[in-house]
Structure 1
Amino acid sequence: MPEPLVEVFAPAKINLSLHVTGQRADGYHLLDSLVVFAGVGDSIAVAPSDSLSLTIDGPEAAGLAAGPDNLVLRAARFLSPDRGAAIRLTKRLPLASGIGGGSADAAATLRALSQLWDIPLPEPSATARIGADVPVCLLGRSCRMEGIGDRLSPTALLPPMEILLVNPRVAVPTGAVFAGLSRKDNPPMPGSPPSDPSAFAAWLSAQRNDLAPPAIACAPEIAETLSALADLSPIHHAMSGSGATCYALLPPGQAALARDVIRSTRPDWWCAHAPLL
């Protein structure tokens, strides 16, 4: 790849809550989710080229194909189908892990190529055609995500926290998780999250991830991961997205120690800590 002209960070997207509130006639599920972003993620680098190409490196690159269906290339064609660029994706987030890696990569690609090609970014809602999580990743800040991922409402500033992300290295097919839902017309989130730390913790404890029970049925290791996080006495812990990545929210300065505890007992798991962005 030529020397890149633009590099963009693609932060992990975490669903602190995920309520499944319905299903449309076309099969798309309706969601109500509190989404935040963490200071750990992938990165996209782009350079001028006559043709469009993608190379992938990084510690989590194994198993990810650079074919035309890759969300990075789909995002590039969505932004401008006839332009060329050499794109490099550096993967640090596990594949298909419920923290929006592919969608974050697509959103970062849109940002990078917008700069390289000097063309405007699309409205976030328009990018739902690339993937349901691309709009929120393009917005790139904590928000309430509703509908099929296209209705975004930025939240008030959340309390200062760090996050620990843990993945037990199991694959959880998203389709099987949604198919395992016992019901698809669950109640939405009640109101907006409060900014007071103690009130926020109480509010979040009353929320749900409706995909957790069917995900655990597919991969019991998720329950083991949640139990390990509970032992850390966090502010809150739950599964993100459709799994298998789980998270623990911790007071500032405590996430690195919590990461070391997990690594000492389960060195085969993927884990990372970061501030919330």
Structure 2
Amino acid sequence: MIAETAYAKINLALHVRARRPDGYHDIETVFAFCADGDGISAEAADELSLSITGPFADGLPVDEGNLVLRAAGAMQAHFNVRTGARITLDKRLPVAAGLGGGSADAAAAARALNRLWRLDASEAALCDAIGRLGADVAACVASRPALGKGVGDALLPPPADTPVSATPILLVNPLKLCPTGPVYQGWDGADRGSLAIVRSGWRNDLTPGAVALVPEIGMALYLLDEIGTAHFVRMSGSGATCFALFETEAARDAARDEIAAQQPDWWTCASVLR
């Protein structure tokens, strides 16, 4: 049995620069990853199969509609693998949450199958195999901080002001679906400029559109700010997950307890950055 973590992806910044003729958007984003996420396990089998467990498993497909199985098939084809694998996805993160979800799961599946099938493939080779499955997939394969450009798939070293590993982080999600397409459609088309050198100038240009669709996102951002101990609060990706960075784990945990007391039906995760 091979196990991998599909590390939760965080967009510390997401600057939308332009709409592209192909329907995508040119962006500048700072990727970071939490130590926690979904779980992927794989064991040898004659055919490819997928089962899903965990608190957010309901309604998720176990066929080619799931990026995990599509990633496995892409790995087979790219590396000419003739055996299969029995894959289990432990879905611990909310769906449509701005945390990389399917992309992180696909990347973790590729890493697990790389080990199970003893391919000894590099990260670049894994990206070649599954990178077409999504704009975030390349970043999720490495699951390390990076600056993303283009549609997010052109990766560069992260800005100097990117938070360091082990920085305490609190994730908060009101458990309202926030689909990416409508959020991007809500972007007003204004280019507000490239990434600033310092973190205080980093934006998420999708926040207004996401809040218009899911007002609870605005409440989550307000509560994280209002607690007063976080030093950086933003929405991740296209929502609905918001996050806050803290100086200490004790401050993070106290904030989590306060959010849970005020909004007991929301999802929270106390973690650290990788």
The aligned counterpart of 1:17 is: 13
Deviates more, 1:179-188 or 1:121-130: 121-130
Amino acid in the other structure paired with 1:108: A
Tell me what 1:178 maps to.
184
1:242 to 238, 243, 246: 238
For the pair 1:164 / 2:160, whether they are aligned, the reply is: no
Distance 1:139 1:272 in 2: 22
Match of residue 262, structure 2, among 252, 260, 265: 265
User: 1:173 & 1:188 partners in 2: Cα distance?
Assistant: 25
| Alpha-carbon distance in structure 2 between the residues aligned to 1:186 and 1:49 | 51
Pair 1:29 & 2:32 matched: no
1:62 aligned residue: 58
**Partner Cα separation in structure 1 for residue 210 and residue 113 of structure 2:** 35
Alignment CA distance shift 1:108-1:184 (3 Å): farther
Checking the alignment, whether the CA contact within 8 Å between 1:125 and 1:151 is kept in structure 2 is no
- Give runs of aligned pairs for residues 106-185 of structure 1, distance below 5 A: 106-119=106-119, 120-121=121-122, 123=124, 126=128, 127-155=130-158, 156=160, 158-159=163-164, 161-183=167-189, 185=191
Q: Counterparts of 2:211 and 2:156 in 1: how far apart (Å)?
A: 30
Q: Percent identity?
A: 44
After superposition, what is the alpha-carbon deviation per residue over 1:161-214, rounded to whole angstroms, capped at 9, x for unaligned?
A: 2100000011112111111110164422134xxxxxxxxxxx222111011011
Distance 2:50 2:263 in 1: 34
The residue identity in structure 2 corresponding to 1:132 is: A
Q: 1:125 to 1:79 in 2, by over 3 A?
A: closer
Q: Which residue of structure 2 lines up, in the alignment, with residue 196 of structure 1?
A: none
Unaligned runs of 5+ in 1: 192-202
Q: Does 2:223 correspond to 1:223?
A: no
- Is the contact between residue 15 and residue 34 of structure 1 (CA under 8 Å) also seen in structure 2? yes
Query: In structure 2, what is the Cα distance between the partners aligned to 1:248 and 1:122?
Result: 29
Q: C-alpha displacement at 1:62, in angstroms?
A: 1.6
Equivalent in the alignment of 2:85 = 85
C-alpha distance after superposition, 1:60-112 (max 9, x if no partner):
21221212120101111111135411000001100110011211111100100
Shift of 1:121: 4.2
Give the aligned residue type for 2:59.
Answer: G
Aligned mate of 2:209, from 176, 197, 214: 214
- Does structure 2 retain, via aligned residues, the 8 Å contact 1:114–1:121? no
Q: 1:97 to 1:149 in 2, by over 3 A?
A: same
Distance 2:122 2:41 in 1: 17
Paired letter, 1:268: D
More deviation in 241-250 or 176-185? 176-185
1:72 partnered with 2:88: no
Distance in structure 1 (CA, Å) of the matches to 2:83 and 2:136: 24
Q: Give the gaps of 5 or more residues in structure 2.
A: none
Letter in 2 for 1:98: G
